Every structure is written in C-alpha cells, then in structure tokens.
C-alpha cells in the first residue's frame, strides 16, 4: 500500500509544511504585537459578560 516513493514524498511534504508554518508564525508574530494590542482585555471582558449571563440564568 505504501511504496518507498510515497513515504519519501510524505516525509518531504511534512518537513516543508512544518518549515513553512514556523516561518509564517515568526513573520506573523511581529505583526500581532502591533495590530492586536488590546485583544487580551477584550477577551477578559467577553468572558466576564458570559460568566455574568451564565450566573444570572442559573440563579433564576
């Protein structure tokens, strides 16, 4: 089912794909610091709203 050529292709493809993912993450990580500066606070606010709603629904 798996020939030697398919195994070699799979290994090469996976290595190239992982290398590309690492390169893209490093490149995008520099932009994230500039564009998503206050995203953590917004996430905390949304979680707080969700918890307040959940608590209100469970108490009534």
d(CA 59, CA 48): 16
pLDDT at 45: 96
pLDDT digits (tens, 9 = 90+) for 1-19: 789 999 999 999 999 999 9
For 6-59, the DSSP string reads: HHHHHHHHHHHHHHHHHHHHHHHHHHHHHH-TTHHHHHHHHHHHHHHHHHHHHH
Residue 59 banded pLDDT, cuts 50, 70, 90: confident
- Tokens representing 32 are 């994230």
pLDDT at 37: 79
pLDDT digits (tens, 9 = 90+) for 12-57: 999 999 999 999 988 888 778 777 778 889 999 999 999 999 999 9
């Amino acid at each position: 089912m798996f020939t030697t050529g398919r195994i070699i292709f799979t290994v090469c493809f996976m290595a190239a794909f992982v290398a590309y993912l690492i390169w893209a993450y490093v490149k995008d990580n520099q932009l994230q610091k500039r564009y998503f500066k206050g995203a953590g606070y917004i996430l905390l606010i949304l979680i707080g709203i969700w918890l307040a709603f959940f608590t209100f629904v469970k108490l009534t």
